[in-house]
Amino acid sequence: MSYIMVDIEADGPIPGDYSMVSFGAVIVEPALSRTFYGQLKPISERWIPQALAVSGHSREETLAFDDPAVVMRRFADWLKREATDRPHFISDNNGFDWQFINWYFHHFLGENPFGFSSTNMGSLYKGLVGDMFQNFKHLRKTQHDHHPVNDAKGNAEALLAMKTQFALKIRF
């Protein structure tokens, strides 16, 4: 299984009514050198200024981004090329990130290469340390700056640290 760490930025809370602005992905392996970055033109007239501000982009900038169908096709092709076997989606907040990636894949391509499941980093860490009040974010090396590739890399670094520090059984 190939673990793909994903992070997305959006201009609102749900796909369809709002838009995924950008996303980043990294193949989880020690080098963290195989990455994907996509910027997507809005699919909706609705957007929340405060949500969009997190991404660091203006509405005007996002209107010039690439067609979502093209970006999702590029991402699917990248997954096919880079994942050594079935890709597995993992993210810091999979309840948020997964819903957008899943919706966009199904809406624009008719299928999701990740299938129907994902893993949540926070839940994984809480289970490893046996404490529902702990947080994994101190294991990141790359600064969390809301650029989705950087954020995905930081989360992948944390997963690699969990393997080393907690003997997490995971294959890369």
Within a domain: 114: yes
Within a domain: 93: yes
Task: Please check whether residue 35 is in contact with residue 148, taking contact to mean a CB–CB distance below 8 angstroms.
Answer: no
Please give the residue range of the domain that contains residue 108.
Answer: 2-166
Backbone conformation region of residue 167, classed left if phi is above 0, alpha if psi is from -120 to 50, else beta: left
**For the chain, what is the domain count?**
1
- The encoded tokens of residue 73 equal 């096709």
Put simply, whether the predicted model's pTM sits higher than 0.95 gets the answer yes
Structure confidence by residue, pLDDT tens digits, 123-168? 999 999 999 999 999 999 999 999 999 999 999 999 999 999 999 9
pLDDT reported for residue 93: 94
Catalytic residues: 146
Q: Residue 124: is it exposed, middle or buried by C-beta count within 10 angstroms (0-12/13-18/19+)?
A: middle
Domain CATH for 158? 3.30.420.10
Within a domain: 72: yes
Half-sphere exposure of 164 (CA within 13 A, CB side): 9
